[in-house]
Amino acid sequence: MSTHTRTATCLIDISADKSVSLPVFIGGEFSLIGIKYPDVWTAAAITFLVSADGVNYANLLDDAGTEVSKTVTASQYRELDSAEFKSAIYLKIRSGTAATPVEQAADREFTLIQRRYIAR
């Protein structure tokens, strides 16, 4: 039996003068594996808010209880550890941290890359 990989992309954006994106559905058969950063970015790391129901969101924390944070490099593609997001059904991206959110100067668009393995 071989494995076939399918990928899907979705866009998520942070509007001007905001620090948190609208939610995007990442549950289902696909695993989140990568992110393409916007071409321009007001300096800040990104952190994530996750939800199981699309209504109640919480900060995504690692095993040590620290917010999962990624450094943004404009126009770059970065791999994500799908294990960090395995319990999330919905996702929001935050510019900055919960304690120090950073409003973006203009609309910013991220591309999320997801993968699904299909046995053949």
CATH number of the domain encompassing residue 21: 2.60.120
Asked if 88 contacts 26 with a C-beta cutoff of 8 angstroms, the reply is yes
Q: Rounded to two decimals, what is the model's pTM? A: 0.88
Domain that holds residue 55: 3-119
> 54: closest CA among 25, 21, 86, 32?
25
User: How high is the pLDDT of residue 29?
Assistant: 81
Please tell me the total count of domains within the chain: 1
User: How high is the pLDDT of residue 62?
Assistant: 94
User: Which pLDDT tens digits describe the chain residue by residue (120 residues)?
Assistant: 445 556 666 678 899 899 999 999 988 888 889 999 999 999 999 999 999 999 999 999 999 999 999 999 999 999 999 999 998 999 999 999 999 999 999 999 998 888 886 656
The encoded tokens of residue 98 equal: 């919960």
Residue 94 makes CB contacts below 8 A (sequence gap 6+) with 19, 20, 21, 46, 47, 48, 49, 101
User: How high is the pLDDT of residue 2?
Assistant: 47
